[in-house]
Amino acid sequence: MLNMKNNYLNKKIISSKFNITKNFLYFLIIPAIILIVGIVLVSVVGFHYGTDFTGESVVKIYVNNENRFGEDIASYDITNQADLDAVYDKIDIVLNDNGLAIDSFRITNMTIEDYLVTNGQAVEVTYQNLSNDIDSITALNNDIRQSLITAFGYSNYEDAVSNIDYSPSSADFTWITGTVACIVFGYLVMACYLAFRNNPSIFLVGILQIAIDIFMTLGLILIFRLTINLSLSIILLSTFMLSVFNLIYYYFKLKSNIRSGRFEKVKNSEIANATIKEITLNRVVLYLVIFVIAILFSVIAVEGVREVALGIMISLLTTFYTSQFLLPSICSVFYKDRKRAKVTRQKQKIPE
């Protein structure tokens, strides 16, 4: 019974006046879910901004490995992993109590002249600021420093915890705006060229395709809680370039098929299905190569590059899905070939 209903629906879709491809409505389910969840997450929790947008604070903490402070104060040798983990956990608890989290944690050293400590073992901790207001950041950092002094038992040795250095946001929004402007300008030039030389409807197809790709990418970034830094521009630029590549590749293959006369009497949806099948293999190979490279960077690269690699993997998944399952239907609805239409009109004028 269910199969009969599905077959009936598919026939209706294929024969509809919109001429969309088979299973198009089913393929819309995943993008719709991603966009809805993304909208909810933006409204409730927002993006996970990185230090490029929030700034950061840095503190050094002496671990008393030389036991300068007497037997009553805990001593840690951070060359030992267990001691290093214990120090990390203490700091993590203090930051969590203040709504913060450790952004980076590394072994360093510090000199404390009052206690005759020279290059003693210490750890350096970096965490994101909660706002861009200097007064509130300073007040919070003072509270965190006092909490760290208490947690390590340094009430009589306050200099064992350094003053917390504050760094403001380093986000260059002018650079981001310039990147977006270049993207928009480049696409408009390309779209105007295609509209002038070929068919204006491809311009509308391109706008819809790129918009879907960009919004789906942002939705997945929200869902997977990737850190948003200036690297977001690289991720969105990659999405845009992949989307335009898929559009142009599909478009010129579509034109080639129509000019060959293979699809003179078939519907747009059938042309779209045949065209996407022809280019799928080449695109799969290209996407797999880029995907493998992105995986390698996400595993072996440093944190900032890893975030970009993960974002590009999301771009690959998004643009491949939409170009494979949504682009053919969008083209079927909006795309009209002038040569094909002209031939059809000429045939209609010939008397029987």
Residue-wise pLDDT tens digits, 305-345: 888 899 999 999 999 999 999 998 888 777 666 555 554 44
Domain holding 199, by residue range, is 2-48+172-341
pLDDT of residue 199: 67
Q: Can you give the pLDDT at residue 173?
A: 58
CATH number of residue 83's parent domain? 3.30.70.260
Q: What is the predicted pLDDT for the residue at 312? A: 94
113 lies in the same domain as 234: no
Domain endpoint, select from 131, 149, 167? 167
> Which residues of the chain register pLDDT less than 50?
2, 5-6, 8-10, 12-18, 343-352
In a domain, 352, yes or no: no
209 and 182 within one domain: yes
Q: Is 17 among the domain residues?
A: yes
Would you call 154 helix, strand, or coil by DSSP? coil
Residue 38 to residues 32, 221, 243, 316, Cα–Cα distance (Å): 10, 9, 20, 18
Residue at which a domain ends, from 108, 133, 167: 167
Distance CA 146, CA 160 (A): 11
Residues 198, 256 within the same domain: yes
pLDDT attached to residue 94: 97
pLDDT value at position 319?
Answer: 96
Per-residue confidence (pLDDT) for residue 13, from 0 to 100: 42
Residue 301 lies in a domain: yes
Q: What is the pTM for the complete model shown?
A: 0.76
pLDDT of residue 293: 93
The answer as to whether 237 is a domain residue is yes
What pLDDT shows up at residue 256?
A: 83
Query: What is the percentage of the chain residues whose pLDDT exceeds 90?
Result: 44
Query: Residues 310, 226: contact at Cβ < 8 Å?
Result: yes
The pLDDT value recorded for residue 194 is: 62
pLDDT of residue 301: 63
Q: How many domains does the chain have?
A: 2
Residues whose CB is less than 8 angstroms from the CB of residue 93 and which lie 6 or more positions away in sequence, other chains included: 151
Tell whether 145 and 183 lie within a shared domain. Answer: no
